[in-house]
Structure 1
């Protein structure tokens, strides 16, 4: 049983920069928790990997040297169900994703992460969906025929784009701009925030709203740290996390809207895509690539 609540400072490290909504929500979490505990519990936030890279932070949380981080499908190294955070075409909309992340499947994912990784998800943040940029409009899978495009070095992504008819090439993010500029590749896919920050609008005309990967990421607390808290402070942590989650969503929605305007102002055209046709064509490759234990869930998500 934890002793009478003592003063403590939680260390929260993450990979995003200070402008990112995750960072702002982390700071908000700290402010709320400090207020709820009358200053007894403070949160020190370390952005830009300044406390360590994602995997180092996860390991640190398991050892008790780090208290908190923001992490997502990387946890599938411990908890296979964490792969559900970022399955191509599994979530039709933000509302659909919310119903999963905040519902029964979400509870099972969190339980497995707690059990296998000894890390406790306390809130989740939406990530901007990944869209395809190109120099010709892409409305249906047929339009992808022979399109050379960059994908991250994720076997699932490579398989899915192959199944859709494109020619995916894994490549480091740092090489993408030059490869688009010199025509080695004709397309790439990323969330709007990265499309803007990487200046892809200088070398790409269209943003095709494929929204092929919708995903979320967790604000997490080490189980070792959680077990040091009194029942009342555990409640305070969850309340502060709930407020931080609502705050992040507000920022996220405003951000996505603003990014569309900014990219249009830079000369990009947004293209509506037949998402259903893409999802149907990608389904086989997705199901073949996911682990057997989550396959029935993924199949069910596709059919919703």
Structure 2
């Protein structure tokens, strides 16, 4: 019930802004008359592969929407960036060409508060993150997304925490001296790990295995699903539980597409969203446990002796320098949430 009230509040804000002209997106509404009983066809894009839980959850959401609208709304899903990258699809939603997308911190290009979806050590654990998402700060982030991006979050999905892999256990920042590691092309990641004492370097993920195998780098950081899918268990011995990034991602819909629905259809979409979120949460728990067990079976050791407080303290100066004043104030407020 708490999650449904949260979802309803965000949706109400979306409709209010649209009615008042607060949405700066240039959109053309839905394909079909939402009040006439004619069919409505929506397109959804995302970056994950078909076997990923995001796609499975998206399929469940589409099935539920179709069922609850008695076939009036059909959703075609395009995984693997078939509709383009997140920024491209967001622009298409704003232009009225696409309706739905799975997106996260990329939305900071319009809504600066969305950057907090991927800041190192903003969240202590999954429970802390959930309390933030479903509390006042989460609503602030979502309100800015609705107003400035032109999309409404329907539901969210938790991501697995990012952990550092290596061939020797790493417990504190002192162990990072001379440690060459790969990071994605995310400036705050580069700055944070450099501040912690490592030698980070940007590298495409498809080059990481070879880089580790040849000793170009000594380690990298990623969630367990990517550690497994990249075969890194063959060239890395330890998963050090730094858990430096807890994050989530939204299923978003264009404000105009949502506004164009009748009250009955909108309620059906909201109900489908609530059920899809619960479905995705169950899949997430199963996936994390499964990958953890698989990596152990494949020879990796999970090192839980990591001093996360020491890493958090070491990275904070870089985090403060990378964020705007408003973003850092939000970061500090997040840390205060119980």
| Contact 1:283–1:302 (CA under 8 A) maintained in structure 2 | no
Q: Mean alpha-carbon deviation: is it higher for 264-273 or for 227-236?
A: 227-236
Instruction: For residue 5 of structure 1, report the CA deviation from its aligned partner.
Output: 4.4
| Contact 2:160–2:224 (CA under 8 A) maintained in structure 1 | yes
Partner of 2:93: 61
| Contact 2:42–2:100 (CA under 8 A) maintained in structure 1 | yes
Q: Mean alpha-carbon deviation: is it higher for 143-152 or for 213-222?
A: 143-152
| Contact 2:237–2:300 (CA under 8 A) maintained in structure 1 | yes
2:144 to 83, 89, 112: 112
**Which deviations, in whole Å up to 9, do the C-alpha atoms of 1:120-161 show, x marking residues without a partner?**
111000111110000100111111122111111211111111
1:244 aligns with 2:276: yes
| Contact 1:5–1:230 (CA under 8 A) maintained in structure 2 | no
TM-score scaled to structure 2, two decimals? 0.87
Q: Mean alpha-carbon deviation: is it higher for 129-138 or for 35-44?
A: 35-44
The 2-side partners of 1:57 and 1:291 are apart by: 26
Local SS of the residue matching 1:89: coil
Unaligned runs of 5+ in 2: 1-18, 20-33
Partner of 2:308: 275
Could you list the structure 1 runs, at least 4 aligned residues long, displaced by more than 4 angstroms after superposition.
Answer: none
| Contact 1:4–1:230 (CA under 8 A) maintained in structure 2 | no
**Which deviations, in whole Å up to 9, do the C-alpha atoms of 1:208-235 show, x marking residues without a partner?**
0111011101001011211211122112
| Contact 1:69–1:220 (CA under 8 A) maintained in structure 2 | yes
1:291 aligns with 2:321: no
The aligned runs of 1:47-86 (5 Å cut-off) are 47-86=79-118
| Contact 2:53–2:283 (CA under 8 A) maintained in structure 1 | yes
The aligned runs of 1:26-37 (5 Å cut-off) are 26-37=58-69
The 1-side partners of 2:246 and 2:104 are apart by: 12
The 1-side partners of 2:125 and 2:51 are apart by: 25
Instruction: For residue 110 of structure 1, report the CA deviation from its aligned partner.
Output: 1.0
| Contact 2:158–2:281 (CA under 8 A) maintained in structure 1 | yes
The 2-side partners of 1:87 and 1:250 are apart by: 25
1:227 aligns with 2:272: no
The aligned runs of 1:39-54 (5 Å cut-off) are 39-54=71-86
The 2-side partners of 1:97 and 1:302 are apart by: 10
1:262 to 270, 282, 294: 294
Unaligned runs of 5+ in 1: none
Instruction: For residue 38 of structure 1, report the CA deviation from its aligned partner.
Output: 1.3
Local SS of the residue matching 1:128: coil
1:179 aligns with 2:189: no
**Which deviations, in whole Å up to 9, do the C-alpha atoms of 1:33-87 show, x marking residues without a partner?**
1111111111111111222222221111001110101001000000101101111
